[in-house]
Structure 1
Amino acid sequence: MIRRRSLLGAAMALPALPGLARAQGAEWKPDRPITLVVPFAGGSGTDAVARILAELLGARIGVPVVVDNRAGANGTIAAVQAARAAPDGTTLFVTTNTTHSANPSLMKRIDYDPVADFTPVARVGNLPFMLVVGEEVKARSLRDLLEMARKSPGQVSYASGNSTGIVAGATMARMAGAEMLHVPYRSTPPAMTDVMAGRVTCMFVDIAAGLANVQAGKLRVLAMSTKERSALMPESPSMAEAGLEGFDITSWNGVFGPAKMRPEIVATLNAAIRQAIDRPEVKQRFAAIGFEAFSGPPETLDSFVRAELVKWRELIEAAGIEKE
């Protein structure tokens, strides 16, 4: 298990708002630091988002925030830890569609329920994914890559460090009618390392995790996983433009607490997150790391998760992925 903790002070970039809870009709303030449990390792896109969020939330609520990376088992280790925590607002889960959309359809057994075992707090935004290859790979476009895969069945491989990488890779192979080898990893950083080293041909990686390596010339972008071009990478074609019409897969981030959190706790945390993210300079800060930041009320996240469970089940079934 990879564990990484980082204590971020409360008095950081934004001023604390002593009257925040009262202004929102709530009277809650934590009496100890808040822990943000993250289901992926340091260096992943969700980790980068959580660390900015920790700074913002600490400044708004007025207590330090701890980021606790609990990578492994496709996010289930972190999910179980967060679900079993006391519902007092001091343990939150910063997670994605891996634990809360895809795992029930990817895994034969998970020891948590993404709806019943959690309290929705706030949507945070989206993590657009890009299909990348290492600099030594000859393919200069998606069509080139798929032609390689069709000519050499099982010789072109794709890495994955999360459910989006798993499902996007399998969907690409199915839609292209190509046999491709899946190479799974515990998290995104080691998967990227092997793609850059040429041990794996390609992978779908979120912009937040992969952008620095793209800019350094260590990875080359062939396409974006979304239906339309991403505003964060406008020069890169969508998968549909690049040759796979109808391909549209992206990842999202949200904040949850354990089940049965009191309404005033949820209201305070939701207000703090939304007031921070709504600031233009904060949106720009997230955009700089490849994250589309936005938020909304807890009820919106709840209905969104229920719909995403259905969507990802359909994606996984269509890709022919069997539960493991």
Structure 2
Amino acid sequence: MVTHPHGSRRMLLGTVAALAVPYLAKAQGKGPEGWPNGRSVSLVIPFTPGGGTDVIGRILQDRLGESFGSSFVLDHKPGASTTVGVRYVARARPDGATLLLGSNSGFTQAPFAYRNLGYDPLADFTHISLLYSSAYLLVAHPRWGSFERVIEAARREPGKLSYGTWGLGSTAHLLMLEMTERTGIEMLHVPFGGPAPALTEILAGRVDMMFTTFAPARAHVMEGRLRALAAPHDERLAAMPQVPTTRELGLPGFLVSAWWGLAGPANLPPPLAAALEQAVRDAVGRPAAQRLADEFGLLPLPLGREAMRDRIRRDLVQNEGLMRRAGITPE
């Protein structure tokens, strides 16, 4: 598959890079006792570059660098519905030098998609804070003029149309399974390591469509390279009011539960975890971060360690039922 960057990915990274510049100049603080001062900190992103997680990574990178006097490096480790990167952090030393910018995919969906996950989403991490949730879009190659045209074509030729996801049991996969079940169609599943390479294949016309988080598709849709067919939400998105909701298209009640949070390996020293949580609160509260979140369809969530652990517990219960109804069994 072709995975070279396109204009929107450069635009996304260029836009968010502005937030990273200050930390290079101001990374002169000193972290709490036990912090790896002077060492680069790996902020592991379990997706390919160019997605909404990069926007959040830049928001955090700025403030964390200022607070702790360390360079925070975005370290992309995609694969297997984000479990490659998540497992890497679970096995890291709990010294603050390796952190995870994880999502619901790795914490609350992958446990029901993979038999040998290699980590426990609660026991093997020090959860620092929830961060954001994301708006979603169903996007397609421009040859698909509407949601109705897709459904008609899929009914004429079952299994011919294809859709991308970032892995088995991911939010994108569950949304498409729900759509195909409720409309009575069959489509071919093509998994990728993240939204960006899947969108590349849709742009090239080799894959037809996908459900994706808002950020990586935004510029493509605005510039006409992709067509947004639907938003799986109860109300139209303020950033794209022309896109109909799935409710309007006769499919009410879509359940979207995509979110991101910051975590470290289990047994991270409490002073480090507390300092990181405070830095997260400072980062997301900055006006520049708030403007960027609005621009890229990121919705703020309750902050803090307990908010993240409570969300993981709740979603594990919920997703077990969703996976069962979708017919997904651990591989």
TM-score (norm 1): 0.88
How do residues 115-194 of structure 1 correspond to structure 2 at under 5 angstroms? Answer: 115-137=122-144, 139-140=145-146, 142-162=147-167, 163-194=170-201
The match for 1:43 is: 50
Residue 247 of structure 2 aligns to a residue whose secondary structure is helix
The residue that corresponds to 1:277 in the other structure is 284
Q: Distance in 2 between matches of 1:173 and 1:9?
A: 41
**Aligned equivalents of 2:143, 2:22: Cα separation in 1:** 45
8 Å CA contact 2:163, 2:210 repeated in 1: yes
Alignment RMSD (CA, Å): 2.5
* Alpha-carbon shift at residue 321 of structure 1 (Å): 2.6
Q: 1:12 aligns with which of 23, 36, 49?
A: 23
Match of 1:260, SS? coil
User: What is the rounded CA distance, in whole Å, between the counterparts of 1:257 and 1:227 in structure 2?
Assistant: 34
For structure 1, the 5+ residue unaligned runs are: none
**In the alignment, residue 12 of structure 1 is paired with which amino acid?**
Y
Q: Which runs of 4+ in 1 moved over 4 A?
A: 8-11, 13-19, 26-29
Unmatched 5+ stretches in structure 2:
4-16
Q: What's the CA shift for 1:67?
A: 0.9
Looking at structure 1, the residues matched to 196 and 241 of structure 2 have their Cα atoms a distance apart, in angstroms, of 24
* Partner Cα distance (1:57, 1:234) in 2: 35
Matched, 1:251 2:262: no
Q: 2:309 aligns with which of 302, 306, 311?
A: 302
C-alpha separation between the residues in 2 aligned to 1:159 and 1:9? 31
3-state SS, counterpart of residue 243 of structure 1: coil
How many residue pairs were aligned? Answer: 312
Identity of aligned residues (%): 36
Aligned mates of 1:94, 1:9 — CA distance in 2: 16
- Aligned counterpart for 2:230 among listed residues 203, 211, 223: 223
Deviations 1:273-293 (A, max 9, x none): 111212233111222233224
The partner residue of 2:40 within 23, 33, 36 is: 33
Distance 2:93 2:54 in 1: 23
Quote the residue 2:79 is aligned against.
72
Change in Cα spacing, 1:240 to 1:126, as seen in structure 2 (3 Å) is: same
The counterpart of 1:318, out of the listed 315, 322, 325, is: 325
Deviation at 1:253, TM superposition (A): 0.5
- Letter of the 2:159 counterpart: G
What do residues 166-203 of structure 1 show as CA deviations (whole Å, max 9, x unaligned)?
A: 11111111121211221111222221111122222210
CA distance in 2, matches of 1:116, 1:38: 20
Query: Which residue number corresponds to residue 101 of structure 1?
Result: 108
Instruction: Find the aligned partners of 2:105 and 2:24 in 1 and give their Cα distance.
Output: 30
CA distance in 1, matches of 2:152, 2:119: 41
The aligned amino acid for 1:169 is M
Moved more, 108-117 or 10-19: 10-19
Change (3 A) 1:242 1:59: farther
The one-character-per-residue Cα deviations of 1:243-282 (angstroms, maximum 9, x if unpaired) are 2111122410000110111211111000001112122331
Give the secondary structure class of the aligned counterpart of 1:92. strand
Residue aligned with 1:242, SS = coil
Deviation, structure 1 residue 66: 0.9
Contact 1:274–1:296 (CA<8 Å) still a contact in 2? yes
Compute the TM-score of the two structures, normalised by the length of structure 2. Answer: 0.86
My pick for the range that moved more, 304-313 or 285-294, is: 285-294
